Amino acid sequence: MESIGVLMTCPPPDAYLVEQLEKRFTLYKFHSIPDKAHFLNSNKASIRAVVGNASAGADAQLIHQLPNLEIVSSFSVGLDKIDLAKCKERGIRVTNTPDVLTDDVADLAIGLMLAVLRRLCQSDRYVRSGQWKKGDFKLTTKVFFCQVIIVLLFFSVFISFFQTSFVWCFNSMKT
């Protein structure tokens, strides 16, 4: 049985991926091969898969040089470095990991929003610089109308991620 060649176009995110690919396939680490043109000429017939990420995928030139290519897989969200038109033309499957960071981005957005609205960065600098010895940090209590609109719009998008119902209750707003 012939060994299936897998061309990894970028450094792997971890050793586990390399271990698993090497167990099942002949893995070529393209990113560390000095003479890429010579390598492709010598191994193009055995390579049936390309593995990459958002920074190194499979452009039209690489796809053209691999006559037996069947699949291009990206272990990242983006497909920017994969020539989708060329893949479609040749009937090459393309995979990626969509939504892998969606929850993390939503968490970060909430954290950043809270940090801005409650001036967490300024209060951190206030404490670290020793200004707390001179007096209390002035906390904010004002919410501007535009901030409320931004928060409501943000949460309407946030809710759609989880398809969950939220109840909003404002007791009072200080201006």
CB atoms within 10 A of CB 139: 8
Query: Can you read off the two tokens belonging to residue 136?
Result: 């209390």
Same domain, yes or no: 110 and 81:
no
pLDDT score of 145: 60
Same domain, yes or no: 73 and 56:
yes
Place of tokens 């969509």: 98
DSSP 71: E
pLDDT score of 99: 77
DSSP 82: B
Same domain, yes or no: 27 and 84:
yes
**Tens digit of each residue's pLDDT (9 = 90 or more) over 102-143:** 778 878 888 888 888 888 899 999 999 999 899 888 876 655
User: How many Cα atoms within 13 Å fall on the side-chain side of residue 164?
Assistant: 8
Domain residues for the domain of 134 are: 102-162
pLDDT score of 167: 52
- Domain holding 46: CATH number? 3.40.50.720
Same domain, yes or no: 108 and 91:
no
Same domain, yes or no: 75 and 153:
no
pLDDT score of 142: 59
Share of the chain above pLDDT 70, in %: 82
**Tens digit of each residue's pLDDT (9 = 90 or more) over 58-85:** 999 999 999 999 999 998 887 888 999 9
Of 69, 95, 121, the residue that ends a domain is 95
The model's pTM: 0.63
Of 77, 95, 113, the residue that ends a domain is 95
Q: How far apart (Å, rounded) are the C-alpha atoms in residues 139 and 118?
A: 8
Q: Are 63 and 92 in contact (CB under 8 A)?
A: yes
Has residue 96 got a pLDDT over 50? Answer: yes
**Tens digit of each residue's pLDDT (9 = 90 or more) over 14-28:** 899 999 999 999 999
Place of tokens 């501007």: 144
Q: Are 60 and 90 in contact (CB under 8 A)?
A: no
User: How many Cα atoms within 13 Å fall on the side-chain side of residue 71?
Assistant: 10
pLDDT score of 175: 45
Same domain, yes or no: 117 and 150:
yes
Question: SS3 for 48-65, per residue?
Answer: EEEEECCCCCECHHHHHH
Same domain, yes or no: 42 and 85:
yes
Of 95, 121, 154, the residue that ends a domain is 95
Number of domains in the chain: 2
pLDDT-derived band of residue 1, with 50, 70 and 90 as boundaries?
very low
